Structure 1
Amino acid sequence: MKSLIKRTITLSLLSVNPLLFAQPVVLINTFSVEASKDAETLAYWESARDVLVEQPGYISTTLHRSLSADATYRYVNVANWESQKHFLDAISVMRNELPALDIEGVTADPNLYEVIRH
Structure 2
Amino acid sequence: MGAITTIVHFSMPAQNVERFFAFWQETIRPVVERQPGLLDGVFHRYVDADGPFQFINVARWESAELLAEALRSTAEEIRGNGVEMLDVFSELGVTVSQNNYLEAVRYRAEDVRDL
Query: Normalising to structure 1: TM-score of the pair?
Result: 0.75
Whether 1:84 aligns to 2:84 is no
Q: CA deviation at 1:114?
A: 1.1
Which residue of 19, 24, 36 corresponds with 1:40? 19
Which residue of 54, 59, 76 corresponds with 1:96? 76
Which residue of 80, 98, 104 corresponds with 1:110? 98
Q: Specify the alignment match of 2:44 in structure 1.
A: 64
1:103 partner SS: helix
Runs of 4+ in structure 1 over 3 Å off: none
Q: Distance in 2 between matches of 1:44 and 1:26?
A: 23
2:2 partner SS: coil
Q: CA deviation at 1:62?
A: 1.0
Q: Which amino acid aligns with 1:74?
A: Q
Aligned length: 97
Q: How does 1:6-17 map to 2 (within 5 A)?
A: none
Which structure 2 segments of 5+ residues have no match?
79-83, 107-115
State percent identity of aligned pairs.
29
Q: Distance in 2 between matches of 1:26 and 1:44?
A: 23
Q: CA deviation at 1:34?
A: 1.5
Q: CA deviation at 1:61?
A: 1.4
RMSD: 1.4
Q: CA deviation at 1:105?
A: 2.4
* Max Rg structure: 1
Q: Distance in 1 between matches of 2:100 and 2:22?
A: 23
Query: Normalising to structure 2: TM-score of the pair?
Result: 0.77
Q: Which amino acid aligns with 1:117?
A: V
